Chain A
Amino acid sequence: MKYADEFRDKEIALGLARAIRSEADPEKSYRFMEFCGGHTHAISRYGLEDMLPKNVRMIHGPGCPVCVLPAGRIDMAIRLAERPDVILCVYGDLMRVPGSQGASLLKAKARGADVRMVYSTIDAIRIAEEIPGRAVVFFAIGFETTTPPTAVMIRLAEKKQLKNFSVFCNHVLTPPAMQNILESPDIRNIGRVEIDGFVGPAHVSTIIGTEPYEFFAEEFGKPVVIAGFEPLDMMQAILMLVRQVNEHRHEVENQYSRAVTRDGNLRAKEEVSDIFELRDQFEWRGLGLVPYSGLKLKRAYAKYDAEVRFDMNELRVADNPACECGAILRGVKKPVDCKLFGTVCTPETPMGSCMVSSEGACAAHWTYGRFRDHQQRRAS
């Protein structure tokens, strides 16, 4: 497949793997967090762990928007969908995300709620046009990458003078979450896990550019390499991080230069800032309340804001106390350290956020990598 196979070439990968092995200091350990779920998925899907030396370890970060959506927001969406006047449009992978007490949109749909799976924001607009008598709500989630399409959709609804269309906004921001991970007591005070560098987001950075990470690299003294989602992108980024660590540098480097610039997509950023504003705080599954990490619609667009329109109450639901997602998302623990992993928590019946989407650390390990646990057990 053109434009994809070139970034999955085995020979080049083996060359990069050799370079990483020869440049990584065997006396040192290198712990890099890949922020994005897309990276986590690529690592597991292509078996990259097998190609890295033992002292280069990847820690899976919280960058899967489905995973970090808290149960309370799912409960809010279910309540909304249960209203007879509402059609709730969602992306498919949200359907199975667990709310409180095992509830999900899929189950609500089976009980009669009108929940429709859409592939694009445009589908939701089309449904609103086709069924003017019902209120169509788009369940908007995602990082900076998916926010511009939501903004464009609101513009479109405005232009078409759609009165039955609104958005349940759950858009979140990457830089505050990265900062939160490094500022959490687990990392700073207890110091159990050090992160030596970050593989920075791919698609998110096409929008926001590399500039927002500069403060972060400087402030925390951690190297950041923005990388694409293809496996060769990852391997090259890891090599670049190893070199930065070896040379005691902490800079923002851009491996994904074929798509990412320093300033990002100005037009998209402008659209987003026209329509959205920061929330004081937003809850992340596994991380808790993170200040200034979520977006909501500006007051001028309140008529498109489902939370205002339907007077939705904020719901907060505690995660299962045995669930280790918070520690796993921060790299303090691994999926196998959690008692729920693979017992009551599997991709079929996810309990914690990391098991929800295939991009989550636990789901990726369960689906692609759990054979290694048995190999390790046998070896020890």
Chain B
Amino acid sequence: MKAHQRKLDIRNGCVDLSHGSGGRAMSQLISGLFHEAFGNEWLACGNDQSAFDVGAGRMVMTTDGYVVSPLFFPGGNIGSLAVHGTVNDIAMAGARPLYLSASFIIEEGFRFSDLKMIADSMGEAARAAGVYIITGDTKVVERGKADGLFISTAGIGVVPAGLDLSAGNARVGDRVLISGTLGDHGVAIMSKRQNLAFETEIVSDSASLHDFVASMLAAGGKGIRLMRDPTRGGLAATLNEIAQQSGLGFRLQEAAIPVKPGVAAACELLGLDPLYVANEGKLAAIVAPEVAAAVLAAMRVHPLGRDAAEIGEAVADDHHFVQMATSFGGARIVDWLSGEQLPRIC
């Protein structure tokens, strides 16, 4: 006789330790909530792993953890963020993302309704990006041992033949392009922090960038040296990393760097610099000077690059400084972030 099992009470129920114990409750959570949200042929097989065919060529793999607080923020939640963040790490190699894994560490007492909302937006973000979440894991920990929910992911993608975007590729004279306004994600998160809450219309820029990257590659080809998505540490950290890895410096024009007035105002209030604030749907590209105009034009016709701008160039510098001409008429360094500007931004 088949044992009767009560349906998951999504509206009022919450996760308890049995949902991580490997028993029937866990199986129900996985099939009733996650499979429903991610629905694809691989998950339907119900294996502990998923098999897929590998085409010829080079693959990329990445892994990422998400501990953002709060879990829900203007413009997204930890679920959509996990998909976008993983997809973007793959996309920065110029690769097409294919498959993701997702593992969930859930604190007991976490509401099913919140979990469903998060899983649904993960599924939606994956579908929109054309990737599949094909394997996963669920663990439940005691109350107080995790702050609601942590997600860790892995992602796999394929790189088009002949393409090699890498951090050491920048050359003196290359141009620095960014895809849009800086600091939106960080400010959206901060506006919802319990002890900081302020009103703003800024929403997170969280988005998958691989389609946008493909259109840039079509315009710039091998003239595109490398790309990075400036997440934690912001554009400042990204450019300092590239300066180190490519053995050169950068000179930026502050006046050319796009920042939304609401972001600038929030940063002013909190004593932050938008150059150090996290983004989740933006990229910085280092491109050869001869293709810069064409790539920028291609960026601007794409919805994710409407505010794209050329903001500076790579220069010879043994000290690997990122320097900036301030809009005020002076000069300064844009250094690495020191200390923690804001914990748990992604």
- Nearest B-chain residue to A367, judged by Cβ: B335
Q: Which of A44, A118, A370 contacts B195 (CB 8 A)?
A: A118
Q: Which residues of B contact A10 (CB under 8 A)?
A: 327-329
Q: Which residues of B contact A96 (CB under 8 A)?
A: 339
Q: Are A371 and B323 touching (Cβ within 8 A)?
A: yes
**Contacts A1-B265, A4-B268, A369-B333 given; does A347 touch B338 at CB 8 Å:** yes
**Contacts A1-B268, A4-B268, A118-B195 given; does A48 touch B330 at CB 8 Å:** yes
Q: Which residues of A contact B328 (CB under 8 A)?
A: 8, 10, 13, 46-48, 231
Assembly CA distance A45 to B324 (angstroms): 10
A211 at the interface (CB under 8 A from B): no
Q: Are B338 and A348 touching (Cβ within 8 A)?
A: yes
Q: Which of A47, A123, A374 contacts B329 (CB 8 A)?
A: A47
B344 at the interface (CB under 8 A from A): no
Assembly CA distance A13 to B268 (angstroms): 20
Q: Which residues of B contact A123 (CB under 8 A)?
A: 195
Q: Majority SS of interface residues in chain A?
A: helix
Instruction: Render B320-338 as a binary contact track against A, CB cut-off 8 A, 1 for contact.
Output: 0101011111111101001
Q: Which residues of A contact B332 (CB under 8 A)?
A: 44-47, 368-369
**Contacts A348-B338, A348-B339 given; does A119 touch B330 at CB 8 Å:** no
Q: Which residues of A contact B329 (CB under 8 A)?
A: 10, 13-14, 17, 47, 50-51
Q: Are A46 and B330 touching (Cβ within 8 A)?
A: yes
**A-B residue pair count with CB separations less than 8 angstroms:** 65
Assembly CA distance A231 to B327 (angstroms): 11
B196 at the interface (CB under 8 A from A): yes
Q: Are B196 and A119 touching (Cβ within 8 A)?
A: yes
B261 at the interface (CB under 8 A from A): yes
Q: Which residues of B contact A17 (CB under 8 A)?
A: 329
Q: Which residues of A contact B261 (CB under 8 A)?
A: 1
A residues 154-208 with Cβ under 8 Å of B? none
B residues 208-265 with Cβ under 8 Å of A? 261, 264-265
Q: Which residues of A contact B265 (CB under 8 A)?
A: 1, 4
B319 at the interface (CB under 8 A from A): yes
Q: How far is the CB of A134 from chain B (nearest CB, A)?
A: 17
A49 at the interface (CB under 8 A from B): yes
Q: How far is the CB of A300 from chain B (nearest CB, A)?
A: 31
A35 at the interface (CB under 8 A from B): no
A138 at the interface (CB under 8 A from B): no
Q: Which residues of A contact B323 (CB under 8 A)?
A: 371
B residues 293-346 with Cβ under 8 Å of A? 319, 321, 323, 325-333, 335, 338-339
Assembly CA distance A50 to B325 (angstroms): 10
A residues 1-59 with Cβ under 8 Å of B? 1, 4, 8, 10, 13-14, 17, 44-51
Q: How far is the CB of B35 from chain A (nearest CB, A)?
A: 40
Q: Which of A8, A367, A374 contacts B327 (CB 8 A)?
A: A8
Q: Which of A48, A118, A231, A347 contacts B339 (CB 8 A)?
A: A347
Q: Which residues of B contact A282 (CB under 8 A)?
A: none
Q: How far is the CB of A215 from chain B (nearest CB, A)?
A: 33
Q: Are A50 and B330 touching (Cβ within 8 A)?
A: yes
Q: How far is the CB of A303 from chain B (nearest CB, A)?
A: 26
Q: How far is the CB of A7 from chain B (nearest CB, A)?
A: 10
A366 at the interface (CB under 8 A from B): yes
Q: Are B326 and A46 touching (Cβ within 8 A)?
A: yes
Q: How far is the CB of A342 from chain B (nearest CB, A)?
A: 11
Most chain A beta carbons < 10 A, residue from B196, B323, B326: B326
- Nearest B-chain residue to A375, judged by Cβ: B331
Q: Which residues of B contact A368 (CB under 8 A)?
A: 332-333, 335
A residues 89-125 with Cβ under 8 Å of B? 96, 118-119, 123
Q: Are A47 and B268 touching (Cβ within 8 A)?
A: no
Q: How far is the CB of B338 from chain A (nearest CB, A)?
A: 4
Q: Which residues of A contact B339 (CB under 8 A)?
A: 96, 347-348
- Nearest A-chain residue to B341, judged by Cβ: A92
- Nearest B-chain residue to A127, judged by Cβ: B195
Assembly CA distance A118 to B327 (angstroms): 32
Q: Which residues of A contact B268 (CB under 8 A)?
A: 1, 4
Instruction: Render A349-363 as a binary contact track against B, CB cut-off 8 A, 1 for contact.
Output: 000000000000000
Assembly CA distance A269 to B55 (angstroms): 75
Most chain B beta carbons < 10 A, residue from A47, A50, A367: A47
Q: Are A374 and B330 touching (Cβ within 8 A)?
A: no
Q: Which residues of A contact B264 (CB under 8 A)?
A: 1
Q: Which residues of A contact B327 (CB under 8 A)?
A: 8, 10
Assembly CA distance A44 to B265 (angstroms): 20
A residues 116-147 with Cβ under 8 Å of B? 118-119, 123
Most chain B beta carbons < 10 A, residue from A1, A13, A44, A346: A1
Assembly CA distance A371 to B333 (angstroms): 7
- Nearest A-chain residue to B343, judged by Cβ: A117
Assembly CA distance A374 to B335 (angstroms): 15
Q: How far is the CB of A327 from chain B (nearest CB, A)?
A: 24
**Contacts A4-B268, A119-B195, A371-B323 given; does A47 touch B330 at CB 8 Å:** yes
Q: Which residues of A contact B325 (CB under 8 A)?
A: 47
Q: Which residues of B contact A8 (CB under 8 A)?
A: 327-328
Q: How far is the CB of A299 from chain B (nearest CB, A)?
A: 33
Q: Which residues of B contact A371 (CB under 8 A)?
A: 319, 321, 323, 331, 333
Q: Are B326 and A47 touching (Cβ within 8 A)?
A: yes
Most chain A beta carbons < 10 A, residue from B196, B323, B330, B331: B330
Assembly CA distance A366 to B319 (angstroms): 13
Assembly CA distance A44 to B328 (angstroms): 12
- Further pairs besides A367-B338, A371-B323: 12, Cβ < 8 Å: A14-B329, A47-B325, A47-B329, A47-B332, A51-B330, A96-B339, A119-B195, A123-B195, A231-B328, A347-B339, A368-B335, A370-B333
Between A and B, 11 residue pairs with Cβ closer than 8 Å are: A1-B268, A8-B327, A45-B332, A48-B330, A50-B330, A347-B339, A348-B339, A368-B332, A368-B335, A369-B332, A370-B321
Which B residues lie at the A interface, using CB under 8 A? 195-196, 261, 264-265, 268, 319, 321, 323, 325-333, 335, 338-339
Lowest 9 CB-CB distances: which A-B pairs, in order?
A47-B330, A347-B338, A368-B332, A46-B328, A50-B330, A47-B331, A47-B332, A367-B335, A47-B326
